[in-house]
Structure 1
């Protein structure tokens, strides 16, 4: 085994990690994860059996099917947030409503754990917005011009009106002020 082979594996791992980071950044990843994690205890607890020695403790309720449906829908909504993030607001509102419905129907929302996770995931999904893409390159016109946009001098303004990048408005010579009856030039006494 050569020393170069470990570098290739490290490069592949870095490339996969960067690819996953890009994929995660383009969608409400944490919202989907919290929603799916909230759906699991809601669906699991009504069907779970706890064995304590010879004693079996079952959490079965008459609304066990409702808990299973709510949990499955929350897991589906979490996957929808990941893979079809266009409907993220609808999925977030639906997750919040299902989390609220799970309180009376599914053992207090999976003993409050599933309720809180689904509620947080729905809120994150409803409030998530895609980021603005960054401009990677300057326009060729800006790159060729040595003056920055703030330091540029407007074409119709005289050189005296530009002071450290801020323009000072001046009245142009020859403008006629109708209210005072004189033009913008100098007046001679006469």
Structure 2
């Protein structure tokens, strides 16, 4: 028996617990909106102060509004982190992220060469579209929230067992394999 096996199993169990806790934490907030907004702030704040060196040639990408780029980038990063810990400001943060991304186009090297602009725009849109879920359990049942299928989902479609859905309101047409009165098949079969 390998003496490392119990240690490895404990490490795997610990990683599994961390993964599921992170997954539960991530599921209760607009995680992806915050992540995209946070990532979008970095190129917007970085590129106006960056120098690109190609051999002996230095290319400065500084703009006249370098301070404005820094402020926009830091605000976007702050909004991204705030989305993770203050879900109640998601509408404000989404609108602010979109507006800051649009302002970054003329102010900050085309919004961080469109990288920061696109990430911030996507993060703002995700923040606006995110809605908290309803809790599952007895309290959800009391409120009438269930994840059962609607009543019409159990009705057969066109009289064919095994097919279910909303199509029951439409008339049933014979299929190619419908048996005739004489016991034979129709011409399609």
Structure 2 counterparts to residues 5-84 of structure 1, below 5 A: 5-84=7-86
Provide the aligned C-alpha RMSD in A: 1.8
Are the structure 2 counterparts of residues 136 and 18 from structure 1 closer, same or farther at C-alpha, using a change threshold of 3 Å?
farther
* Unmatched segments (≥5 aa) in structure 1: 140-149, 151-190
Query: What's the counterpart of residue 105 of structure 1?
Result: 107
* Unmatched segments (≥5 aa) in structure 2: 142-150, 152-189
Q: Aligned pair count?
A: 140
Deviation per residue, 1:122-172 (Å, 9 max, x gap): 010011001111116999xxxxxxxxxx9xxxxxxxxxxxxxxxxxxxxxx
Q: Secondary structure at the residue paired with 1:130?
A: coil
Greater Rg by CA:
1
Q: TM-score, normalised by structure 1?
A: 0.70
Deviation per residue, 1:76-105 (Å, 9 max, x gap): 000000111111111111000000100111
Are the structure 2 counterparts of residues 2 and 57 from structure 1 closer, same or farther at C-alpha, using a change threshold of 3 Å?
closer
Q: TM-score, normalised by structure 2?
A: 0.70
Q: Secondary structure at the residue paired with 1:56?
A: strand
Aligned-partner Cα distance in 2 for 1:12–1:35:
30
Query: What's the counterpart of residue 157 of structure 2?
Result: none
